[in-house]
A and B are shown apart, each in its own frame.
Chain A
Amino acid sequence: MTCISCAGAALDRGGMTLTRRESSPIPVEADSICPDRFIGLNEADIARLPAFYGRRQVTLGDLFEIEGVGATDITVTGDLAAVKKIGHGMTMGRVTVEGPVGQHTGARMTGGELVVRGDAGDWLGAYMAGGRIVVEGNAGHFVGGAYSGDTKGMRGGTILVKGDVGREAGGRMRRGLIIVLGDTGEFTAARMLAGTVFVRGRLGARAGAGMKRGTVVAFGEVAELLPTFRYTCTYRPVFMRCYLRRLRETGLVAEGELEGELFRRSIGDLTNGGRGEVLVRAERE
């Protein structure tokens, strides 16, 4: 026989699973799927949390089969391609999405971990301030971006996308780290204020357009750098070694996934002060 607190901990480890009842192209807004919203609730309470099915307000129970216990480990399965805002604003816990997921996943989150075992839609981690997002497939446009009217995008935390991302990843980013192991679309880190973006694949055209400060690192091919970027030197940035070591230590990237010692440094965007930088991996001559 276990004590009450031990039993509670054991139950919490079991986690909560939400399974989509049907496949539908109609958009669902499910910002209730968030560890913070599940705290202290049982299955029936969670089933009563609100969601939007198209423009109609429904409950999570109408859309998902809900089973399990605990708030800190949530798994969402089924057809989620049209389900938006999972993990929206989460501050703690872990959410695992099995399969492709819709837009705004992990937007405005400040803590915890969100894992997507598939592709993610646009605005992944938009305006995020902390925590970690890992996407095992591709992600859409505006990863870690700023919403219209916001002066800042991502303000902290880490986003790892193992596939490709669309345009304007890290747009208006203020702080934090975005790692893309595939290619990026146009205008990566456009109007970036600070922070760091790593791209292992092809860095899309016009990267860093209008950036004020911050760092874009290209480990692979670079489509084109704007003429408002000026080459400064080829050197060994020690801070890059700190990043790569830390990423390996935390298990975010595997040994050999991101490597580089020597980088060509260009500063820009000279139309906006020129205090940003684009580092492109160079080979030793």
Chain B
Amino acid sequence: MRVNGVEIEDTFAEAFGMWGARLVVTAETLEWARTAGAAATGFATSIIGCGCEAGINELVRAQDTPDDRPGIIVLLFTMSRAAMEQQLMLRIGQTIMTCPTTACYDGLPDGEERFKVGGKLRYFGDGFQRSKLLDGRRLWRIPVMDGEFVVEESFGAAKAVGGGNFFIMAGDLERALAAAQAAVAAMRGVPGVVMPFPGGVVRSGSKTSSRYKGQHASSNTPYCPTLRGFEKSDLREGENAVLEIVIDGLTSDAVAEATRVGVVAACCDGVLRISAGNYGGSLGQFKFALHDLVSA
């Protein structure tokens, strides 16, 4: 299959079950909301070393947030429920609460699991915290130096999908970068997904084995152009730069749509092939076949 002359390989991306949470972060200005979001989603590229994967999903207009202020949606993904509770506490407490003028609300009120976050962060108020029960949702008002930090008592989490992906193989780095950026820009319009790596793009794709004991992940050697001819390579002649886009989503439909949008947008001039990473279909619960998605 070809799109804009770019070959779409007949393969599939393999993804895994994760837990996902959705935070609505508001502030006096969109700039401060984005600042809080950037801090909350910092160092959250891969669960291999960061404890969670996270990203800013979308900007929200003031008329669509609980407090009529501009805001953003942050999506946060972990492998376990325990990790989710820990990450919510850490990231809301250390990054969102500390950012001027912010408030943080649950964006998944119907989530399968609920984690008490505001109900624990409130103790920062040293006894001067107040709560308000609004339509069954408890909001904590924690005194801070610019007024009050408002945070919801608990946050919902739902079973989600992590590790959706595709690879962009190009003739040179400039064209690979341009295609990856075009893909990410298009995918940011899809609700319910984030691309957790820097700028939405990862260059250090990994495989789940290593020649070193204790090293769980190592360089994705079949896709490293500098190793062609030395190691087993999956790259073809002329493919000199590879970038990967990893997708986490609240639902498999959202990941599928983001993959479709991204793959099509990545079919730019100078891109030679689009492929996807999998483990032969034996490990992941979710499979996203590129041909099926693009032809849908």
Interface residues of A (CB under 8 A from B): 175, 196, 213, 215, 235-239, 241-246, 250, 275, 277
Contacts and interface: CB of A to CB of B under 8 A. Distances in A.
Question: Taking chain B's interface residues, is the majority helix, strand, or loop, or is none over half, making it mixed?
Answer: strand
A236 B132 contact: no
Interface stretch (B49-57, B65-73, B199-207): B65-73
A237 B148 contact: yes
9 contacts: A237-B141, A238-B26, A238-B141, A238-B148, A239-B141, A241-B67, A242-B139, A243-B132, A246-B135
Nearest to B66: A242
Contacts of A243: 132, 134
Given A236-B147, A237-B148, A239-B150, A245 B68 contact: yes
Interface in B145-196: 147-148, 150
Question: Taking chain A's interface residues, is the majority helix, strand, or loop, or is none over half, making it mixed?
Answer: mixed
Contacts of A236: 28, 147
Interface in B114-159: 130, 132-135, 139, 141, 147-148, 150
B103 interface: yes
A242 B137 CA distance: 11
A180 B150 CA distance: 25
A155 to B, nearest CB: 11
B68 A239 contact: no
A196 B67 contact: no
A215 B141 CA distance: 12
A213 B130 contact: yes
Most-contacted residue by chain A among B26, B132, B133, B139 (CB, 10 A): B132
Contacts of A250: 135
Most-contacted residue by chain B among A215, A236, A244 (CB, 10 A): A236
A117 to B, nearest CB: 25
Nearest to A250: B135
Given A235-B147, A236-B147, A237-B147, A242 B67 contact: yes
B260 to A, nearest CB: 34
Given A237-B147, A241-B67, A246 B134 contact: yes
Interface in B35-80: 66-69
B67 A238 contact: yes
Given A175-B133, A213-B130, A246-B134, A241 B147 contact: no
A196 B147 contact: no
A113 B247 CA distance: 46
B134 A238 contact: no
A71 to B, nearest CB: 25
B132 A241 contact: no
B68 A244 contact: yes
A215 B67 CA distance: 18
Contacts of B150: 238-239, 242
B286 to A, nearest CB: 36
B147 A238 contact: yes
A159 to B, nearest CB: 15
Contacts of A213: 130
B103 A238 contact: yes
Contacts of A239: 67, 132, 139, 141, 148, 150
A243 B69 CA distance: 13
Most-contacted residue by chain B among A235, A238, A241, A246 (CB, 10 A): A238
Interface in B85-134: 103, 130, 132-134
Contacts of B67: 238-239, 241-242, 245
B148 A242 contact: no
B132 A196 contact: yes
Contacts of A215: 130, 132
